Amino acid sequence: MDLKGNIICNKCHKGMSRPVCTCGNTICIIRFYAGKTYERRRDERNNVMTYPEALRILTLINNDMITKGRLFDPQDWLDGAVKERKFENQIEEYYQDKREEVERGELSPEYCRIITGYNRTHFRYFHGMDIMQISKQEIADFKRSLASLPKIKSRQNVLNALKAFFNWLWVNGRIASLPPFPTIKGNNAVPRRALRQNAQAELLERIPEQLRDPYIFAMETGVRPGELISILIKSVDLNNRVVWIERSKSGAQYRETTKENTKLPVPLNDVALAAVRRNVIGKFPMDYLFIYPKTGHPWSYKTLYKVWKVNTGNDYGLYEATRHSFCTQVVPLTDSYTAQRLMRHKDKRSTDNYYHAFSDKLLEVVQKKNNIIELVKDDSQK
Check whether 368 has a pLDDT greater than 80.
Answer: no
98 falls within a domain: yes
Domain stop point among 80, 113, 135? 80
Q: Give the range of the structural domain holding residue 16, as residue numbers without chain letter.
A: 6-80
284 falls within a domain: yes
Q: If you average pLDDT over every residue of the chain, what do you get?
A: 91
pLDDT of residue 262: 86
pLDDT band at 219 (very low <50, low <70, confident <90, very high): very high
Give the mean pLDDT of 293-301: 96
Amino acid at 268: L
The helices-and-strands tally (H runs, E runs) of the chain is 16, 10
pLDDT band at 379 (very low <50, low <70, confident <90, very high): low
Of the candidates 140, 132, 117, the residue with the CA atom closest to the CA atom of residue 166 = 132
Task: Verify that 102 and 229 share a domain, yes or no.
Answer: no
- The span from the CA of 100 to the CA of 102, in Å, is 5
User: Residues 171, 172, 174, CA angle at the centre, nearest 5°?
Assistant: 105
- The span from the CA of 371 to the CA of 157, in Å, is 47
Of the candidates 183, 87, 187, 179, the residue with the CA atom closest to the CA atom of residue 143 = 183
Q: Do 218 and 329 contact (CB within 8 A), yes or no?
A: no
pLDDT tens for 231-283 read 999 999 999 999 999 999 988 888 888 887 889 999 999 999 999 999 999 99
pLDDT of residue 272: 98
178 falls within a domain: no
Domain stop point among 25, 45, 80? 80
pLDDT tens for 24-70 read 999 999 999 988 888 889 887 778 999 999 999 999 899 888 988 88
Task: Verify that 258 and 350 share a domain, yes or no.
Answer: yes
pLDDT of residue 140: 95
182 falls within a domain: no
Task: Verify that 130 and 223 share a domain, yes or no.
Answer: no
- The span from the CA of 86 to the CA of 189, in Å, is 35
Task: Verify that 206 and 344 share a domain, yes or no.
Answer: yes
191 falls within a domain: no
Task: Verify that 202 and 347 share a domain, yes or no.
Answer: yes
Task: Verify that 166 and 225 share a domain, yes or no.
Answer: no
204 falls within a domain: yes
Give the DSSP letter string of 209-234.
GGG-HHHHHHHHH---HHHHTT-BGG
Task: Verify that 278 and 325 share a domain, yes or no.
Answer: yes
Number of domains in the chain: 3
Task: Verify that 242 and 316 share a domain, yes or no.
Answer: yes
Task: Verify that 46 and 162 share a domain, yes or no.
Answer: no
Task: Verify that 151 and 258 share a domain, yes or no.
Answer: no
Give the mean pLDDT of 352-358: 89
Check whether 372 has a pLDDT greater than 70.
Answer: no
Task: Verify that 349 and 206 share a domain, yes or no.
Answer: yes
Go through the chain and tell me how many residues it has: 382
pLDDT of residue 42: 87
Of the candidates 231, 139, 237, 122, the residue with the CA atom closest to the CA atom of residue 179 = 139
pLDDT tens for 206-215 read 999 999 999 9
Task: Verify that 286 and 351 share a domain, yes or no.
Answer: yes
176 falls within a domain: no
pLDDT tens for 112-140 read 999 999 999 999 999 988 898 899 999 99
209 falls within a domain: yes
Query: Within 10 A of 336 (CB to CB), how many other CB atoms are there?
Result: 12
